[in-house]
Structure 1
Amino acid sequence: MNKLSVLLGTAILGVLLISAKANPNCVDTNHDPHKAKYNPFAEGLQIAMESANLDASEIVVLKIEEEVDLGFDTSQYLPLGFNAYEGMELDVKDIVVLEAEEEVHLGFDVSKYLPENFDAYAK
Structure 2
Amino acid sequence: MKKISVLIGIGILGALLLSSKAAHYCTGADNDGHSLENNPFAEGLKMEMESANMDPSEIVLFEEEEEVVLGFDTSEYLPLGFNPYEGMELDAKDIIVLEEEEEVVLDFDVTQYLPQNFDAYAK
Q: Which of structures 1 and 2 has the larger relative contact order (alpha carbons within 8 angstroms, sep 6+)?
A: 2
Which TM bucket (shorter chain)?
Answer: 0.3 to 0.5
Calculate the TM-score normalised by the size of structure 1: 0.47
